Amino acid sequence: MRLDKYLCECGCGTRSEVKKIIKAGMVRIDGYVAKKPEIKVDESADEVSVNGNPVRYTKFVYYMLNKPAGYVSATRDNKDRTVMELLDKKDLREDMFPVGRLDKDTEGLLIISNDGGVAHDILSPKKHVDKTYYVKVKGKVKEEHVEMFREGVDIGEKSLTLPAKLNIIKSLDVSEVYLTISEGKFHQVKRMFKAAGMEVIYLKRIKMGNLELDDTLIPGGYRPLTDSELKMLCERG
Ligand code: URA
């Protein structure tokens, strides 16, 4: 890998920033000053340092983000702020992306990574990784809806939704529920409640697979996943 790319991916700055520190002679490979950004680094063998501080390369990174409303789940957008803008410059790498989508107004658990394999494992329709949402809806959610969601709902797709688990927390004019689904169809939760004649007014994802959102993360806050959390993410709920 080129030295400038290596340094960017290690969080040492943008391409132009790392080029400057390379030109300034601040970067060493195996003890020798490396002055050209295009020099190749063997990321598994070479010792790279900036100002004498070792810089270690990790191939894959995984962050748990508590997505706030108002951000789109994309790497770039012409109109809206993206979830990538919530990451510190030091943690941002060019190859990172949000694993799956939450709507702009949805909050909660979103994984940011650069690992396409894990993304595929979680998102593949065949894998049926459970996702649990805390939902506020206008209208009284009743036992009949628990049954309806368990049996599958017609949301205008070729087939009914797969069995989903609805747990009623409060059944009032505005109801509160937990809903666990094992698919990820476009606007799925909102469309399921619409099919039941109700409107979702607040939506937050709280769990994916066996991984729960860290409730100490403020909206917009994020942290790396631990190894055991990474396993939990890929487990079927
Ligand atoms: N279902 C929705 O309707 N929206 C989301 O953001 C996620 C699931």
- Domains of the chain, start order: 3-55 (3.10.290.10), 62-125+211-233 (3.30.70.580), 131-208 (3.30.70.1560)
Which distant-in-sequence residues (6+ apart) come within 8 Å of 77 by Cβ? none
pLDDT at 106: 98
When pLDDT is averaged across residues 174-197 and rounded to a whole number, the result is 97
The 8-class DSSP code of residue 85 comes to G
Whole-Å CA distances, 132 to 9, 28, 166, 174, 210: 32, 47, 10, 19, 10
| CA 233 to centroid of ligand 1, rounded, Å | 18
Instruction: Tell which residue, 175, 171, 214, 237, has the closest CA to residue 67.
Output: 214
The pLDDT confidence band at residue 233, using thresholds 50, 70 and 90, is confident
pLDDT at 237: 53
Closest Cα to atom 7, ligand 1: which residue? 102
Closest Cα to atom 2, ligand 1: which residue? 187
- Which active-site residues does the annotation give? 103
Q: How far apart are CA 145 and CA 226, in angstroms?
A: 37
The pLDDT confidence band at residue 89, using thresholds 50, 70 and 90, is confident
- Tell me the β-bridge partners of 222: 65
Between these two residues, 185 and 9, which has the higher pLDDT value?
A: 185
The answer to whether the beta carbons of residues 229 and 211 sit under 8 Å apart is: yes
The answer to whether the beta carbons of residues 116 and 136 sit under 8 Å apart is: no
In this structure, the number of other CB atoms found within 10 A of the CB of residue 220 comes to: 15
pLDDT greater than 90 at residue 199: yes
What does the pLDDT look like over 27-75, one tens digit per residue?
999 999 999 999 999 988 999 999 999 998 888 999 999 999 999 999 9
Residue 80 CB-half CA count within 13 A: 13
What does the pLDDT look like over 107-136, one tens digit per residue?
999 999 999 998 988 888 788 899 999 999
Residue that has been written with the tokens 């769990």 in this structure: 207
Between these two residues, 220 and 56, which has the higher pLDDT value?
A: 220
The pLDDT confidence band at residue 235, using thresholds 50, 70 and 90, is confident
Strand pairing of 131-138 and 174-181? antiparallel
**Residues with a CB atom less than 6 Å from ligand 1:** 102-103, 106, 187-190, 203
pTM metric for this prediction: 0.87
Instruction: Tell which residue, 152, 70, 140, 74, has the closest CA to residue 104.
Output: 70
Give percent of the chain above pLDDT 90.
83
Q: Which of 190, 192, 200, 213 is the best mutation target for the ligand 1 pocket, counting ligand atoms within 8 Å of the beta carbon and taking the most?
A: 190
The token duo for 171 is 């059944």
Residue that has been written with the tokens 């927390």 in this structure: 169
Instruction: Tell which residue, 101, 62, 68, has the closest CA to residue 223.
Output: 62
The answer to whether the beta carbons of residues 62 and 224 sit under 8 Å apart is: yes
The answer to whether the beta carbons of residues 85 and 71 sit under 8 Å apart is: yes
| CA 189 to centroid of ligand 1, rounded, Å | 5
Element (H, E) at 177: strand 174-181
pLDDT at 185: 93
| CA 165 to centroid of ligand 1, rounded, Å | 15
